[in-house]
Amino acid sequence: MEAGANHSQSIATTLEQEPITYPVIDARIVGTTMADALEMVMSRAETSAGGYACFVNAHLSVMTRQEPKVRSAIASATYAFPDGMPVYLVGKYLHGLDIEKISGPDVMEKIFESERGRKLRHYFYGSTPEVLEKLTSSLQECYPGSNIVGAVSPPFRELSDEEQTAQLNAIRSSGAQLVWVGLGAPKQEYW
């Protein structure tokens, strides 16, 4: 079998496998390693499988008990990774899983470190124009060849239906495979 065929078969297997999860308050957290989390995320991006990942820390896990909307957003996520030491420790020691802490910034950095990840089309949504400019410039400088297809800082207010539709259309038309959302919790989980 050719190398490309092996890679495609590996992607299909990754997408078909249900990841191991464990409970933290009212959230189901994916218990995995960083390497496997990267494979899950990049495989979905490469195949345009869609979905979204949440990076759950202690505060967000508590909110799953207090806020039905947060609980629903995390329950609906394709992956809810342990982005916080308490959430990670519950899986590692209470449930005895061989897992690692998986934070959003670490995932982003590792994806950009890999040639495979740099080839993906990335879009950044959130924060301020200044922060986005600094982030995208830094990524381009540190990881030459990074394929950043867009970066938008939405207004710090509720968007009208027309504005939201326009921004979603801009993301779709960019051809983005990975959209990095930085609106702060829990706003980014609702997005």
pLDDT of residue 15 exceeding 60: no
Residues 6+ positions from 39 with CB-CB distance below 8 Å:
14
113 pLDDT more than 50: yes
Burial class of residue 161 (count of CB atoms within 10 Å of its CB; 0-12, 13-18, 19+): exposed
- The overall average pLDDT reported for the chain is 91
Q: Which of 91, 27, 81, 23 is nearest to 52 (CA)?
A: 81
DSSP state of 152: E
Between 29 and 17, the higher pLDDT residue: 29
The arithmetic mean of pLDDT across residues 116-132, rounded, is 96
pLDDT band at 2 (very low <50, low <70, confident <90, very high): very low
The tokens describing 61, both together, are: 């896990």
